[in-house]
Structure 1
Amino acid sequence: MELLCTDRLRLRAWTTAPADLARLADVYSRDEVTRWLGGPPTVSPAELVERWRLVHELNPVHGCWAVDRLDGGPPAGTMLLKPLPNGVGEVEVGWHLHPDSWGNGYATEAARAVVERAFDEGLLEVYAVVRPGNEPSLAVCRRLGMQPLGRTSHWYGTELESFRLEAPAV
């Protein structure tokens, strides 16, 4: 199921197709990715797909989607828009890209599209949380125009840089 398209990318639901599961396993087995996530997932790729399907089912604005390049190749990674843990309605935008897709602007492009869609659907603000030292993700937050809020351990129990972006006034 396609969520949206940008000039270079298509966001869609991850599936249990062998190619999707293999790409998920590849992305989330890489230290250069998981060190910024607090470690690799504790569930299988198929279980991730099911969890992410439920996130979207609970609220169709939320989800964790595959980021496909329109020019072909495997998915660049995952784009997410989901409730923050321990929050009271706060929603997080995030990106987990495969290293072979870094440095192409895909995270910024996909995040901008997901955030714009969320604002169109009535969401008033989105947050991002980034591990200190993750300069590429901090740069994505800046390119999105997110306001830095400082460090917090409120949501994930570890100190993270937090950012907020408010919906434009209408």
Structure 2
Amino acid sequence: MNLRPVAQGDVLEISILLDTVFEGPAEARLVQRLRDEGAMALELVAEDDEGIMGYIAFARMLVPDSIWALSPVAVRQKSQGGGVGSKLIQHGLDMVRQSHESQGVVVLGAPEYYERFGFSRAAAADLTTPYAKEYTMFYPLAPEAAHLKAALSYPDAFSEAQ
């Protein structure tokens, strides 16, 4: 398996992956809108001999602009359960850390999954979000972000995708 940044030629294959994994076009539309808005901060793929098997994206929040949002992460159905998603998340968080452009990453998802990577509901306790608080977690990258108090404002693409 090879992990690498997204290339322009990957767009169609990523859209097909997202449509298949999420059983509809909503996530692919979200990703394209994030790109169109210029909100996409980082996109990575995992590939094997058959092509793209996984995808992860990080978008810049509008407020605070030092926070990124992980959304979405997807793994080809026949490759699920093999650690591809975990490797994408770990590699993605490493790349975010190395970029020095973000103080932390917020995610909306299943706590039992994302807490394995260091995301925390406790770290998100002082974040106001338009989404379900019980599924909002934060991964602080800078010491000053560990107890961040902020009202999160997501790129418009997130509200348009609902």
Classify the TM-score, shorter chain.
Answer: 0.5 to 0.7
Structure 2 partner of 1:87: 63
Match of 1:164 in 2: 138
Return the TM-score normalized by structure 2.
0.63
1:113 aligns with 2:108: no
Quote the residue 2:45 is aligned against. Answer: 66
Cα distance, 1:64 vs structure 2: 2.2
Distance 1:148 1:162, change over 3 A: same
For residue 8 of structure 2, give the secondary structure of its aligned residue in structure 1.
Answer: coil
Supply the distance in 2 between the matched residues of 1:96 and 1:16 (Cα, whole angstroms): 18
Root-mean-square deviation over aligned CA pairs: 3.6
Is 1:97 equivalent to 2:67 in the alignment? no
| CA distance in structure 2 between the partners assigned to 1:92 and 1:53 by the alignment | 15
Where does structure 2 lack aligned partners over 5 or more consecutive residues?
Answer: 144-162
After superposition, residues 10-49 of structure 1 pair within 5 angstroms as: 10-16=3-9, 21=12, 23-30=13-20, 32-34=21-23, 40-41=26-27, 43=29, 48=32
Q: Which AA in structure 2 matches 1:48?
A: Q
Q: Which amino acid aligns with 2:108?
A: V
Partners in 2 of 1:76 and 1:153 — Cα distance?
Answer: 34
Are 1:127 and 2:127 an aligned pair? no
Runs of 4 or more above 6 Å deviation: 150-153
Gaps of 5+ in 1: 1-7, 57-61
* Residue 115 (structure 2) aligns with: 142
Aligned residues: 137
Of all paired residues, the percent bearing the same amino acid is: 7
- Tell me the distance in 2 between the aligned counterparts of 1:88 and 1:145: 20
Q: Find the aligned partners of 1:120 and 1:127 in 2 and give their Cα distance.
A: 17
Q: Which has the higher helix share?
A: 2
The alpha carbon displacement at 1:42 in A equals 7.0
Change (3 A) 1:29 1:116: closer
TM-score by length of 1: 0.61
Give the CA deviation at 1:162.
Answer: 0.9
Q: For residues 54 and 77 of structure 1, what CA distance do their matches in structure 2 show?
A: 22
* Alignment deviations for residues 22-76 of structure 1 (CA, whole Å, 9 cap, x no partner): x33432323x5257xxx62474xxx9399279445xxxxx22232223xx22211
Corresponding position of 2:155: none
Q: Structure 1 CA distance, aligned partners of 2:70 and 2:34?
A: 19
| Alignment partners' CA distance in 1, 2:6 and 2:28 | 20
Distance 1:153 1:16, change over 3 A: farther
